[in-house]
Chain A
Amino acid sequence: MDMNQYLSMFIDESNDHLQSLNESMMGLEANPEDLSIVQVIFRSAHTLKGMAATMGFEDLASLTHQMENVLDLVRNNKLRMQDFIFDTLFKSIDALESMVEDITGGGAGKADVTAIVSSLQAIVRGEVPSAGNASAEVTAAASGNASAAQVFLDEFQYSVLEQSLQEGHQVLYVDVAIRKDCQLKAVRAYMVFDLLERSGEVVKSFPSVQDIEQEKFDYGFSLYYITQKDASEIQKMILNLSEIEAVTAVALDQESLRQMGQDTAAATAEASAPAPVQEAAPTAAGIASPSSSVHPKEENGKAAPARAGGAPSPSRTIRVDIERLDVLMNLFSELLIDRVRLEQLASEVQNGDLTETVEHMGRVSGDLQNIVMKLRMVPVDTVFNRFPRMIRDLAKSLDKKVDLIITGADTEMDRTVIDEIGDPLVHLLRNAVDHGIESITDRIAAGKSETGTVHLRAFHSGNHVFIEIEEDGKGIYPKNVLASAVKKGAITQEQANTMSDDEAYQLLFAPGFSTAEVISDVSGRGVGLDVVKAKISSLGGNVTIYSTPGKGTNFSVQLPLTLSIIAAMLVRLGSEKYAIPLSSIVETGIVKQSQIRTIHGNRMLEFRGSHIPLVSLSKIFSIPDYDESTEEETEIVVVRKGERLVALAVQDFIGQNEIVIKNLGKYLPEVQGISGATILGDGQVALIIDPNAFIK
């Protein structure tokens, strides 16, 4: 079978499961007694294992398998979660992540995980409370039988079993493990079924018979079986087949069956109730035995599709290649252009019916445009969800205590922004934990609680999304920043004396600037906040710092909702039209030639009490048929980059418009002052001015 067509699906789903593993592990760490979380983790690991095995990624499958063994003990209350178990499991998840990454990059997902595997195996061997009983369980699990522990009876099957018991038949629960080196395990399984069906009836099997026939199972399966023969007899019969590793057949009586029925009805919570664990002789153990062995299986069967345990219910979505959306957008903008043309024609023709139809079409296409836009919106959650794990590791390696509180994870942004924003945020968060939050002793000394808090917030405001990273750490002292800047020669002492606090904070974004006295493993490796700033600026956003010394710091990142549609002011310069992004326009106005002064050879303009440079677009762009210097009055657009302002001279304002940003293609070199192009209603291309380029 050609697996390539499933590869992208496999990668997507694996990433989902890895994410869920990470999240659940974090949840479990906060709440180690909650066995329902273990169930969630187990299921994710199990699904991952199954998918990896189907796709032929053996290393991935075997590592998840080892994880399952550990988790299996935990959920059966045979093992208590401890720090080093958490660490080992986290390491395993990391290893899985890198394998999946390798697969994403076209690799075979191979990795040397022997160290992790052996520590996982050590956990399985070493941490079992009662050696005798558990060893049986462990070998069963190790022989690839963990998947078999998933049989869930529905009401009908339950009543069939119950009736059979009443009629004096034997009801058996059979667990079969096939040897790992078995070549045709489906055939082997078929032989088992064939054998069983000669002397009884299989009521229910897990995996289902279809799955088994298609080899969609590991090396084990379980089933409920009605027969006249004894459990031991059945066991012997199956063992007589070749390539069978182990068989357990447990006879159920009315009591134990009823117990299972109750378990079926019981809520997930019951899984966390410690059940006595005795995998002993069926007759003697009576109620306890089947219940303890069957119990978790039901949990699995029931919750597998629904993802219980606090995980969000799966939303009904489909995955679409982003390029298809781009094509859709292009087609759509063509439609809009035609619409404008139709509207023009209709107004010329003056036909009532035609005008009405065109107007209706206008409304429909307006709605359509909204929907097309929304298709590209993704919740920031997709970026945020990897941060809890990162903060945990970071806090651990720095020996600090940190709570990460995320709010507004459902805030939506354009996919293109989401893809770019991850790295800057990682950097800011590392910065917050490393430089912001103090060590435990320092916090206690400062009269704070020993656990620091980092808030990660996202929210909409106007046409922007804000992402804030706020901690309650030691804050930034402007004086220290200035002193450090002077020492590094970034500014002079005189400059430092006149700088405001805000200006001092802005120095943090200067290249090569770090206030950290000790270069730590986490940050300060030469990649500074300047990179963060540059990245965010390139997305059309900006970063602001608010800090209260001693109380904490807030990095506020402002980002445009989408990179593909912006509000812009269209201006005319001679025969050419340009678009200026509205977000950077402060105001527009008209100045007289006499108001323009020349200072040091630069043309300046008085604007609200200060002088700002007047930039001649006609000169910079060598516009053939316009020059503002010949005019008595000039229209200007005042644009802003951070605190700095510049006036751009234009000929006319055309008006405000929503424009779809297009890039200029790969061939054109970087054009200074131009950030892209857009297509106007008449089909003409207008260039988009990048105001930042005029402000040095």
Chain B
Amino acid sequence: MAEDIKVIVFKLGTEEYGIEVEKVQTIERMMPITRVPKTYSFIKGVINLRGVVIPVIDLRGRFGIEEAEHTDQTRIIIVNVNEMEVGFIVDSANDVIDLNRDIIDVPPDVVGGIKAKYLDGVAKIGDDRLLIMLNLSEVLNKSEIVQLESLEG
């Protein structure tokens, strides 16, 4: 019997994603973002989080999903991975659930729009909820981004 983990649940479009709660520093409402020129299009800029300057990524843009207007529900999830502090812009974030590791399955090759390598797995909760667990180190892997950009550009 594997242990339970706590997972922050957020939405991009209609899909639900999960990040382990230990990796999340805080969840903030939308705030003014200072654009940083000459960088990847999905890096929206930097914010002032209580005196610390933190870069912010639009997670839709990162996964190649069409970007959406920000609403009252839009949140910035500040994560701390590999000593990097980064904010993710997500459509909404309003749930914390307990998840048993056992119910996380190996992800299929493609889920929604995003590549399998960004995923740790997919968890089926209840009858009709699918939770996509993110592999944050991969999402923040920069060497791969350079390739991505050069392919696109």
Q: What is the interface of chain A, defined by CB distance below 8 A to chain B?
A: 330-331, 333-334, 337, 576, 620-623, 662-669, 671-674, 677, 679, 683-687
Contacts and interface: CB of A to CB of B under 8 A. Distances in A.
Contacts of B53: 662-665, 677, 679, 685
Interface string B51-63: 1111100000000
A621 B84 contact: no
Contacts of A686: 34
Interface of B: 32, 34-40, 43, 45-48, 50-55, 83-86, 140, 142
B62 to A, nearest CB: 12
Given A684-B32, A685-B46, A685-B47, A668 B55 contact: yes
Contacts of A665: 46, 53-55, 84-86
A1 B51 CA distance: 40
Contacts of B84: 665-667
Given A330-B52, A665-B54, A679-B48, A673 B34 contact: no
B36 to A, nearest CB: 6
20 contacts: A330-B52, A333-B51, A334-B51, A620-B38, A621-B37, A622-B37, A622-B38, A663-B53, A665-B46, A665-B86, A666-B84, A667-B140, A671-B37, A673-B37, A674-B37, A677-B53, A683-B32, A685-B45, A687-B34, A687-B46
Contacts of B36: 664, 668, 671, 674, 687
A677 B34 contact: yes
A442 B54 CA distance: 59
Contacts of A620: 37-38
Contacts of B54: 665
Nearest to A335: B51
Given A333-B51, A671-B39, A677-B53, A664 B32 contact: no
A666 B140 CA distance: 11
Nearest to A663: B53
B50 A667 contact: no
A392 to B, nearest CB: 41
Given A674-B37, A687-B36, A668 B43 contact: yes
A668 B46 CA distance: 9
B38 A334 contact: no
A673 B38 CA distance: 9
Most chain A CB within 10 A, of B37, B39, B47, is at: B37
Contacts of A623: 37
Given A333-B51, A677-B53, A679-B51, A685 B34 contact: yes
B48 A684 contact: yes
A84 B140 CA distance: 59
A623 B39 CA distance: 13
Given A667-B142, A668-B55, A677 B35 contact: no
A669 B142 contact: yes
B48 A664 contact: no
Nearest to A676: B53
Contacts of B40: 669
A524 B141 CA distance: 40
The 7 A-B pairs at the shortest CB distance, nearest first, are namely: A621-B37, A330-B51, A685-B34, A662-B53, A334-B51, A666-B84, A667-B84
Contacts of B47: 685
Nearest to B43: A668
Contacts of B83: 666
A679 B53 CA distance: 8
A295 B50 CA distance: 62
B85 to A, nearest CB: 6
Contacts of A334: 50-51
A337 B46 CA distance: 17
A662 B37 contact: no
B137 to A, nearest CB: 12
A671 B84 CA distance: 17
A330 B50 CA distance: 8
Contact of A667 (B34, B37, B86): B86
A684 B83 CA distance: 24
Nearest to A334: B51
A564 to B, nearest CB: 13
B147 to A, nearest CB: 13
Contacts of A333: 51
B48 A668 contact: no
A667 B46 CA distance: 11
A327 to B, nearest CB: 9
A622 B46 CA distance: 17
A341 to B, nearest CB: 13
A672 B38 contact: yes
A662 B34 CA distance: 14
Contacts of A677: 34, 46, 53
A631 to B, nearest CB: 20
Contacts of B39: 668-669, 671
Nearest to A577: B34
A252 B26 CA distance: 75
Nearest to A624: B35
B41 to A, nearest CB: 11
Contacts of A668: 36, 39, 43, 46, 55
A685 B48 CA distance: 6
Nearest to B146: A669
A676 to B, nearest CB: 8
A675 to B, nearest CB: 12
A683 B34 contact: no
A127 B109 CA distance: 81
A580 to B, nearest CB: 15
Contacts of B37: 620-623, 671, 673-674, 687
Most chain A CB within 10 A, of B34, B52, B53, is at: B53
B72 to A, nearest CB: 21
A664 to B, nearest CB: 6
Contacts of A666: 83-85
A683 B38 contact: no
Contact of A576 (B34, B48, B51, B142): B34
B74 to A, nearest CB: 19
Nearest to A660: B51
A677 B47 CA distance: 10
A544 B89 CA distance: 48
Given A665-B54, A677-B53, 9 more contacts: A330-B50, A333-B51, A576-B34, A665-B86, A667-B55, A677-B46, A684-B32, A685-B48, A687-B37
Contacts of B34: 576, 677, 684-687
A259 to B, nearest CB: 65
Nearest to A661: B53
Most chain B CB within 10 A, of A333, A662, A669, is at: A669
A399 B39 CA distance: 55
Contacts of B51: 330-331, 333-334, 337, 679
Most chain A CB within 10 A, of B34, B48, B54, B84, is at: B48
Nearest to B82: A666
Most chain B CB within 10 A, of A620, A673, A685, is at: A685
Nearest to B140: A667
A431 B132 CA distance: 60
A666 B84 CA distance: 6
Nearest to B31: A683
A66 to B, nearest CB: 44
A682 to B, nearest CB: 9
A665 B53 CA distance: 7
A679 B43 CA distance: 19
A621 B43 contact: no
Nearest to A666: B84
A664 B37 CA distance: 12
B48 A683 contact: yes
A664 B46 CA distance: 8
Contacts of A331: 51
